Amino acid sequence: MLTKEMLRSGLPELYAHRVRLRQLRAEDYPALERMLSDPLVIRYVNRIRKPVYARMRRLVAQIKVAGDSLDSLHFAVEWHGRNTGVTPSQLLGIASFQQWNEGTGEAQLGYILDRPFWGQGLATEIVEVMLKFGFGSLKLKRIEGRCQEDNQASVRVLVKNKLRLLRIIRSYDPSGEVPNVLVFSITQGDYA
C-alpha cells in the first residue's frame, strides 16, 4: 500500500493503452493554464460564476496547493503508444484523486481533457487506470466521481467504469443556470 509519506518522493507512472499518467510538474502549468482557459473545457469543472480567466486561476492555484500537500494526487496525461501526430510530452489533460483521505480510504476522482482529445475514449481509459491504481496501490475503499448533470460525456465515462449514481446535489441557484451535480461511487468490493 502506498502512503502519503511514500509518495512525497513522487508519484508512480501509470499506463493505459494509449496514455501515460505521470506526476504533474511545474513546466506543465503553462499548458494547463492554456487548456483551462478554454470556456468549453472549464465549463464543467467548477460552478462559480466568474469569468473564465478567474476560474482558471483559481483552479490552478487549488491544484498546486492540494498537490503540494498530497491532499490530492495530480497526474499529467500524455500520449503513450503508436505515433499519432501528437508529441509524446504534450499535455492531453490531467487526472486526479482529490480529497484523498488515507484514514477512511476514500478519494474523489477527477479528470479533464483538452478539447482536441474529446470523444476518443481517452477519459474512459484514464478512469480505468486511476481505479486500478486507487484500489490496487492506494488500497482505497471507495472512490467517488462527480459531474454536472448536463455533462453526459462524463456520465457515460463513469458508468462505463462501473460507478453507480449515489446521490444528486441539488443546485442552489433558483435561476437554473447552475446545474445539479451527480455523485457516482464505486467501492473496492464492487470493483473486484
**How far apart are alpha carbons 21 and 67 in whole angstroms?**
15
Span 90-119, average pLDDT: 95
pLDDT of residue 128: 98
pLDDT band at 84; cut points 50, 70, 90: low
Span 6-23, average pLDDT: 95
**How far apart are alpha carbons 118 and 98 in whole angstroms?**
22
Strand partners for 142: 106, 187
Kindly tell me the number of DSSP H helices and DSSP E strands found in the chain: 7, 8
pLDDT of residue 174: 76
**How far apart are alpha carbons 158 and 128 in whole angstroms?**
9
